[in-house]
Chain A
Amino acid sequence: MKKLNYRLVIFIFAALFGIAFTIPSFIGKEPKVNLGLDLQGGIYLVLGVKGDEAVKSKIKTFASTIKYITNKKEIFIDNLKVNNKTLSFELIDKDDAPKMDEILKKLKGTQVIKKHTKEGILYIVKLTPKEIEKTREDALNQAIQTIRSRLDAFGLAEPSVTKQGKDKIVVELPGIKTQKEKNSIKKLISTSAHLELYAVDDEHKAVTPKDAAKYGDILLPSKDNPNRKYLLKTPPVLDGSMITDATVGFTQKTNQPAIFFTLNSQGAAIFGDFTGKNVGKRLAIVVDNKVYSAPVIQERIGGGSGQITVGSPEEAHVLAIALRSGSLPAPVILLEQRSVGASLGADSIKKSLIALISGFVIVVIFMAWYYNLAGIIADIALIVNLFLIIAIMALFGATLTLPGMAGIVLTVGMAVDANVIINERIRELIREGKNIKTAIEGGYKNAMSAIVDANITTLIAAIALFAYGTGTIKGFAITMAIGILASMLTAILGTHGIWEYLLAGGKKITPKHFGMKA
């Protein structure tokens, strides 16, 4: 019985696999290789998430909660202050201490320090280090979620929002063309949409933030006129984490564009209580530290809904999406922005394809000329190798970028290396006077350790690139690693299988077929 040529079988399967999964990329069906923004045009943004702000805002929320609960239970506290990452207050009646402890116990992830003073007990509440770490992490994850759902709501095709490192987000938006689109998207992404409701302090007057702090207040500018400042009582009555819905509409009386928001049950209860107790006073609606409006409370507002009037319908649209998809727990800042026009992308593809094809053709012709049949067999392996790279990239949904394309070009240059090593070894054995069959077997055997060692060291470099690289470098490293692995399969196994087939088929192979003079 004839021995099964398993090398050839594997090679043929690899070739079919490569071709089958390469075709979809060329006719635009899944699975396909995604083109990077540098090749198809679009925007690439790197956002930094300010985790510290999320920690501060968490403390602020705790302060609001404490104020609300103590009010309700008639526990008297004074001097409630939020100081960067800690909050402090004094408990006036020492007998309330057990009740107070009970309330604080419900605030998860906090450390409480108690100091007895002449007037009462001074409480200092801060987050545990573990909780701070978790808050930052949550802020990053939630920011990714939020930005994703905002972009979805905006109706963008294939946006990609991914984490980078501990505090960065990469947003990739292919196909954005107009300047106007770009600006609304940047606004949509970077709007914190942090809604807060504050009681306006009409009893005091303050010009500087310092004056305001004296009364435990803050000064915030009006959205329409930055010079106009409102004096607001801290902590806020409510914050935006309690919003469940926001829609765009128009106010009944004045027909101004407005956003109608709905609060969850806890928010509705707080809102109802507050408006009930403060009829005739003003309530400021603050988004991202700007006062949108400060209407006078006419009556108790139950049901937990309210409205924010805004300047234009477009603004209402963006803000409503932002509010509805949740606020960013921490502000984001734009660290990097790259936009590539579609025409440049097309140019880049064209140029790198020209380089790829001409480089490829030179290598193919050179190999065939230098090694004769052995060169043609190496060329077959090279072509299958190229198919395999594209197929594997398509299956992993990898993104092909300009440096990635260069990586393929480079791999083509290096992929023939294994066959050069093998063919040189075979030639040596032929010169030593071995017969062709022995020379071929010996050539593959002798070349093996050099090829394996050389490829593994290159692979180590590729892994290092992948581990520490960002964005495009990562893509490049993946292309290189796939290329190395694919070339081991095609150049070592594949070509060996072809020789075995030729030898078994009784073909007369002479030194001429290795480019040597007979």
Chain B
Amino acid sequence: MELFKSEKIYDFMSKRNIFISISLILIALSLFSIFTKGFNWGIDFKGGIEIQVKFDKQIDLGEIRKIVSKKFSSPNVTTFGNNNEILIRLNVNAVSNDVQKSLENEIKNLLKPLGNAEIRRVDIVGAKVGNELKEKGLNAFIFSIIGILIYVAFRFEWRFALASVLALFHDTIISLGAVSFFGIETNLDVLAAILTLMGYSLNDTIVVFDRIREQVRDSKVNDLATLINEAISKTLSRTVLTSLTTFFVVLTLFLFGGEIIRPFSFTLLVGIIVGTYSSIFIASPLLIWLGFKIDDYRKRLAEIEKRKREKEKLREMYQGGVV
């Protein structure tokens, strides 16, 4: 089976303004959602109490809400996955020992009249913990950006490094925008998903960049747009295939992985689509905007090649006993 069988070169670059416009609109919408709607922070970040209860039959949420509000102010009650499992969130910020001690029993007693209830999970997180997590997440993000910048600049050229990191911001912002827009609960797993996406979307971008580097080295063509079109077209089959296999797997995770992992799998699902799109349509045009010069890079590659050859020659001379 062959997807992109012919050696057809698709002309992506002539439409680059359209793609960039689409991306800018998506980024603007994402930022708008992030700043106006914000995130639906989970208790990992916000602090509070979360109790997951499973009943042996279907239960009326309104009734539970009424019963729980007798004891706790403004509880948030939602179904969790199927209809006989519910999630109760309480905004109790002071995590004192006394609150906790009685909590599980109290909830159990409150719910008793409604039927057989099994308390499956109780999470209590102090408010202070969350800020530290946000800070650590940001640190992880910054640390990997710096690491990636250095590595790519070393292996390619600084414009490649900058373009890949800009594409990374593009993917991260749009994924976060989707998380914000759809009101997905933002917990630790979502943070992990965002950070994983960085690795994934970068993977895609680097494979295309590697091909551009190769085309620059081996081809006689002097037009950057043509070279990039060739590189993307030749890697297209791979990009689509890998994205498809990863997409399938994450989709099964989203569909069958259960409610707890859903925020994580949702974020990944969006990220894979955006990451694939950006590695084809966004990362490479950025090279053009950043003023990448084929001639300069060829000279540099030739220089590296020359030095490598000289070294080899020297080694041969040593081994031959000439020096």
Q: Which residue in chain B gives the minimum CB-CB distance to A370?
A: B1
Bound CA–CA A165/B252 (angstroms): 36
Confirm or deny: B63 has a beta carbon within 8 angstroms of a beta carbon on chain A: no
How far apart are A386's CB and chain B's nearest CB, in angstroms?
A: 12
* Shortest Cβ gap from B275 to chain A (Å): 11
User: A409 an interface residue at 8 Å Cβ cutoff?
Assistant: yes
For residue A24, give the distance in angstroms from its CB to the closest CB of chain B: 26
Q: Answer yes or no: A212 CB below 8 A from chain B CBs.
A: no
Please, how many angstroms separate the alpha-carbon atoms of A292 and B174 in the complex? 61
Interface positions of A from 495 to 518, Cβ below 8 Å from B:
515-517
Contacts of A190 in B (CB 8 A): 97
Task: Write the chain B residue with the least CB distance to A182.
Answer: B104
* A335 surroundings in chain B (CB, below 8 A): 95, 125-126, 128-129
Is the CB of A412 closer than 8 A to any CB of chain B?
yes
Q: Among the listed B52, B148, B245, B265, which residue makes an inter-chain contact with A406, where contact means beta carbons less than 8 Å apart? A: B265
Q: How far is the CB of B143 from chain A (nearest CB, A)?
A: 4
Interchain nearest-CB distance for A4 vs B (Å) = 24
| Number of chain A residues close to chain B: CB under 8 A | 76
A352 touches B261 (CB 8 A): yes
User: Residue A79 at the B interface, CB < 8 A?
Assistant: no
Q: How far is the CB of A125 from chain B (nearest CB, A)?
A: 33
Contact with B129, one of A336, A407, A515 (Cβ below 8 angstroms): A336
Least CB distance, A481 to chain B, in whole angstroms: 10
CB-nearest residue of chain A relative to B136?
A468
Check if A359 sits within 8 Å of B242, measured CB to CB.
Answer: no
A406 and B206 in contact, given A340-B121, A424-B238 (Cβ under 8 angstroms): no
| Residues in chain A near residue B248, CB distance under 8 A | 359, 362-363, 366, 413
Question: Is B69 interfacial (CB-CB < 8 Å)?
Answer: no
Is A453 within 8 A of B210, CB to CB? yes
B222 within 8 A of A: no
B104 contacts A179, CB within 8 Å?
Answer: yes
- Taking a contact as CB atoms under 8 Å apart, the answer to whether A413 and B246 are in contact is yes
Q: Give me the interface of A with B, judged by CB distance under 8 Å.
A: 38, 46, 179, 182-183, 186, 190, 334-341, 343-344, 347-348, 351-352, 354-355, 358-360, 362-363, 366-367, 369-371, 402-403, 406-407, 409-410, 412-414, 416-417, 420-421, 424, 427-428, 431, 446, 449-450, 453-458, 460-465, 467-470, 472-473, 476, 480, 515-517
A348→B144 contact, CB < 8 A: no
In the complex, the answer to whether B95 meets A334 with C-beta atoms within 8 Å is yes
Q: Does B183 sit at the interface, judged by CB under 8 A?
A: no
A454–B247 Cα distance when bound, in Å, is 18
**Residues B121 and A338 in contact, CB atoms below 8 Å apart:** yes
Given contacts A337-B122, A453-B155, A465-B192, contact A470 B147 (CB under 8 A): no
B196 CB within 8 Å of chain A: yes
Bound-state CA distance A339–B41 (Å) is: 20
Give chain B interface residues in 102-118, CB to chain A under 8 Å.
104-105, 118
Q: Given that A338-B121, A403-B264 are contacting pairs, would A363 and B249 also be in contact in the complex, using a CB cutoff of 8 Å?
A: yes
A183 touches B101 (CB 8 A): yes
**Range for the number of chain B residues in contact with chain A:** 35 or more
Q: Is the CB of A337 within 8 A of B100?
A: yes
Please indicate which of the listed interface residues B139, B248, B253, B264 has the most CB atoms of chain A within 10 Å of its own CB: B253
Distance of A335 Cα from B105 Cα, bound (Å): 20
* A461→B95 contact, CB < 8 A: no
Contact between B256 and A358, CB atoms less than 8 A apart: yes
Known A336-B124, A424-B237, A450-B206; contact A461-B258, beta-carbon cutoff 8 A = no
Q: How distant is the Cα of A358 from the Cα of B195 in the complex, in angstroms?
A: 25
Across the interface, B148 reaches (CB within 8 A) one of A428, A431, A461, namely A461
Residues of B within 8 A of A338 (CB): 121-125
Contact B203 A457 (CB under 8 A): yes
Q: Is the CB of B203 within 8 A of A458?
A: yes
Closest residue of A by beta carbon distance from B258: A351
Q: Which residues of B contact A453 (CB under 8 A)?
A: 152, 155, 206, 209-210
Chain B 249-264 residues near chain A, CB threshold 8 A: 249-250, 252-253, 255-258, 260-261, 264
B188 at the interface (CB under 8 A from A): yes
Given A179-B104, A413-B248, 12 extra CB contacts under 8 A: A335-B125, A338-B123, A351-B256, A371-B1, A413-B249, A453-B206, A457-B152, A460-B147, A461-B199, A470-B136, A476-B196, A480-B196
Q: How far is the CB of A289 from chain B (nearest CB, A)?
A: 15
**Chain B residues near A428 (CB, 8 Å)?**
234
Report the minimal beta-carbon distance from A439 to chain B, rounded to whole angstroms.
15
Least distance between B11 CB and chain A CB atoms (Å): 20
Inter-chain contact B120/A343, CB cutoff 8 Å: yes
Q: What would be 20 A-B contacts, judged by CB atoms less than 8 Å apart?
A: A182-B104, A183-B101, A336-B124, A402-B189, A403-B188, A406-B257, A409-B250, A413-B247, A413-B248, A420-B238, A421-B207, A424-B238, A454-B206, A457-B148, A460-B147, A461-B196, A465-B192, A465-B195, A467-B143, A468-B139
Question: Chain B residue with minimal CB distance to A422?
Answer: B238
Q: Please, which residues of chain A bring their CB within 8 A of the CB of B105?
A: 179
- Cα(A366)–Cα(B244), bound, Å: 10
Bound complex: CA of A431 vs CA of B31, how far in Å?
A: 46
Interchain residue pairs A-B with the least CB separation, the first 8: A413-B246, A359-B249, A413-B249, A464-B144, A351-B258, A458-B199, A450-B210, A468-B140
A416 CA to B136 CA in the complex, in Å?
Answer: 31
Whether the Cβ atoms of A344 and B121 lie closer than 8 Å is yes
Pairwise interchain contact A473-B120, C-beta atoms closer than 8 A: no
- Closest residue on chain A to residue B144 by CB atoms: A464
Q: How far is the CB of B145 from chain A (nearest CB, A)?
A: 9
